[in-house]
Amino acid sequence: MLKVNLDTKIKFLHGLSHKTRIQILECIKDSEKTVSQIVEEIKGNQSNISQHLACLKGCGIIVGRQEGKYVYYGLRNQKMRDLLTTIDGVLEEVENDVACCENHIG
Protein backbone atom coordinates (compact mmCIF):
# COMPACT_ATOMS: atom_id res chain seq x y z
CA MET A 1 0.00 0.00 0.00
CA LEU A 2 1.28 3.45 -0.94
CA LYS A 3 2.12 5.57 2.10
CA VAL A 4 1.38 9.28 1.77
CA ASN A 5 2.54 11.82 4.32
CA LEU A 6 -0.45 12.80 6.50
CA ASP A 7 0.26 16.54 6.23
CA THR A 8 0.41 16.26 2.43
CA LYS A 9 -2.92 14.42 2.42
CA ILE A 10 -4.48 17.14 4.57
CA LYS A 11 -3.19 19.87 2.22
CA PHE A 12 -4.60 18.00 -0.77
CA LEU A 13 -8.01 17.57 0.87
CA HIS A 14 -7.96 21.23 1.89
CA GLY A 15 -7.63 22.05 -1.81
CA LEU A 16 -11.01 20.38 -2.27
CA SER A 17 -12.66 21.94 0.78
CA HIS A 18 -14.06 25.21 -0.56
CA LYS A 19 -17.37 25.78 -2.34
CA THR A 20 -15.80 27.86 -5.13
CA ARG A 21 -13.08 25.28 -5.76
CA ILE A 22 -15.68 22.50 -5.98
CA GLN A 23 -17.71 24.66 -8.40
CA ILE A 24 -14.59 25.14 -10.52
CA LEU A 25 -13.85 21.41 -10.53
CA GLU A 26 -17.41 20.59 -11.55
CA CYS A 27 -17.19 23.25 -14.27
CA ILE A 28 -14.02 21.78 -15.80
CA LYS A 29 -14.71 18.11 -15.07
CA ASP A 30 -15.70 17.28 -18.64
CA SER A 31 -13.74 19.86 -20.63
CA GLU A 32 -11.05 22.51 -20.33
CA LYS A 33 -12.16 26.10 -19.83
CA THR A 34 -10.58 29.54 -19.70
CA VAL A 35 -10.87 31.76 -16.63
CA SER A 36 -13.52 33.84 -18.43
CA GLN A 37 -15.59 30.76 -19.22
CA ILE A 38 -15.34 29.56 -15.61
CA VAL A 39 -16.27 33.02 -14.26
CA GLU A 40 -19.30 33.13 -16.53
CA GLU A 41 -20.44 29.60 -15.76
CA ILE A 42 -20.19 29.77 -11.98
CA LYS A 43 -21.11 33.45 -11.71
CA GLY A 44 -18.00 34.43 -9.78
CA ASN A 45 -15.56 37.30 -10.07
CA GLN A 46 -12.32 36.91 -11.96
CA SER A 47 -9.97 37.82 -9.12
CA ASN A 48 -11.56 35.32 -6.73
CA ILE A 49 -11.71 32.57 -9.36
CA SER A 50 -8.06 33.17 -10.27
CA GLN A 51 -7.02 32.78 -6.62
CA HIS A 52 -8.90 29.48 -6.34
CA LEU A 53 -7.43 28.26 -9.64
CA ALA A 54 -3.95 29.02 -8.25
CA CYS A 55 -4.76 26.95 -5.16
CA LEU A 56 -6.05 24.01 -7.22
CA LYS A 57 -3.06 24.21 -9.54
CA GLY A 58 -0.64 24.50 -6.62
CA CYS A 59 -2.12 21.33 -5.11
CA GLY A 60 -1.69 19.52 -8.43
CA ILE A 61 -5.43 18.98 -8.83
CA ILE A 62 -5.67 20.92 -12.10
CA VAL A 63 -3.33 21.93 -14.89
CA GLY A 64 -3.22 24.94 -17.17
CA ARG A 65 -2.45 24.79 -20.87
CA GLN A 66 -1.45 27.95 -22.77
CA GLU A 67 -3.01 28.37 -26.19
CA GLY A 68 -2.35 31.76 -27.75
CA LYS A 69 -3.32 34.42 -25.23
CA TYR A 70 -5.60 32.06 -23.28
CA VAL A 71 -4.87 29.53 -20.55
CA TYR A 72 -7.19 26.54 -20.53
CA TYR A 73 -7.70 24.83 -17.18
CA GLY A 74 -8.60 21.18 -16.82
CA LEU A 75 -8.34 18.34 -14.36
CA ARG A 76 -4.85 16.92 -13.98
CA ASN A 77 -5.80 13.45 -15.21
CA GLN A 78 -8.45 10.75 -15.32
CA LYS A 79 -7.76 9.84 -11.68
CA MET A 80 -8.97 13.30 -10.63
CA ARG A 81 -12.12 12.84 -12.72
CA ASP A 82 -12.61 9.42 -11.13
CA LEU A 83 -12.12 10.92 -7.66
CA LEU A 84 -14.85 13.50 -8.23
CA THR A 85 -17.17 10.77 -9.53
CA THR A 86 -16.35 8.59 -6.51
CA ILE A 87 -17.08 11.47 -4.12
CA ASP A 88 -20.48 11.91 -5.80
CA GLY A 89 -21.18 8.18 -5.43
CA VAL A 90 -20.25 8.15 -1.75
CA LEU A 91 -22.34 11.25 -1.11
CA GLU A 92 -25.39 9.57 -2.64
CA GLU A 93 -25.13 7.04 0.19
CA VAL A 94 -24.34 9.40 3.08
CA GLU A 95 -25.92 12.68 1.96
CA ASN A 96 -28.58 12.74 4.70
CA ASP A 97 -26.00 11.98 7.39
CA VAL A 98 -23.71 14.73 6.15
CA ALA A 99 -26.59 17.22 5.94
CA CYS A 100 -27.62 16.47 9.54
CA CYS A 101 -24.10 16.37 10.98
CA GLU A 102 -23.78 18.85 13.82
CA ASN A 103 -20.06 18.23 14.21
CA HIS A 104 -19.16 20.07 11.01
CA ILE A 105 -16.32 22.50 11.55
CA GLY A 106 -16.15 25.44 9.26
Q: Report pLDDT digits (tens) over 14-48.
A: 899 999 999 999 999 999 999 999 999 999 999 99
pLDDT at residue number 19: 96
Asked if residues 64 and 23 have their Cβ atoms less than 8 Å apart, the reply is no
Note whether residue 101 is domain-resident: no
Question: Per the structure, how many domains does the chain have?
Answer: 1
Note whether residue 10 is domain-resident: no
pLDDT confidence of 1, banded at 50, 70, 90?
low
Give the CATH number for residue 52. Answer: 1.10.10.10
Note whether residue 46 is domain-resident: yes
Quick one: 101 exposed, middle or buried, by C-beta within 10 A (0-12, 13-18, 19+)? exposed
**Phi, psi (degrees; rounded to nearest 5) at 71:** -110, 125
**pLDDT value at 55 more than 90:** yes
Note whether residue 104 is domain-resident: no
Residue 17 to residue 40: CA distance in whole angstroms: 22
Note whether residue 77 is domain-resident: yes
pTM of the model: 0.88
Full residue range of the structural domain in which residue 53 is found? 15-95
Note whether residue 7 is domain-resident: no
